[in-house]
Amino acid sequence: MRHVKDLVFLEGCVNYTWQWSDGWRILLPRMIKHIMDKLPPAYFLRLHRQFAVNRLFVDQSQILSDASKVFLTTAGICLPVSPQRKSQISHQLRENADLPTVGM
């Protein structure tokens, strides 16, 4: 795994997980749940059963009012948010909008 601060988002595919960053992606033979257990929870949010995001890459100005999608600052990527997690994700993104960028 590369440095955690470079990790933009995770995409789960059954028993495998894609790690995405600017310019690279790696397929790991682990479920997204197992990878999330090893990442700092202050920075990574589980959006959906298939997606998790590093909140440092979330474009705060592009969060939809109903919080159904999260836009990332890199490459204009838009990730879905589970209906069951909308209010939780919206609250978490508002409460810690200015996280430090060091220490990961």
**Does a structural domain hold residue 101?**
no
8 A C-beta contact, residue 34 and residue 48:
no
In angstroms, rounded to a whole number, what is the distance separating the alpha carbons of residues 29 and 45?
21
Q: Does 23 reside within a domain?
A: yes
Q: What is the tens place of the pLDDT at every residue in 49-67?
A: 999 999 888 876 566 666 6
Q: Which two tokens stand for residue 45?
A: 């949010």
CA 22, 96, 81: angle at the middle one, nearest 5? 60
- Tell whether 104 is covered by a domain: no
Return the sign of the alpha-carbon dihedral for residues 70, 73, 78, 80: negative
103 within a domain of the structure (yes/no)? no
pTM: 0.79
pLDDT greater at residue 88 or residue 17: 17
| Structure confidence at residue 104 as a pLDDT band (50, 70, 90) | very low
Q: Residue 33's domain is classified under what CATH number?
A: 2.40.50.1020
Number of separate domains in the chain:
1
The reply to whether 100 falls in a domain is: no
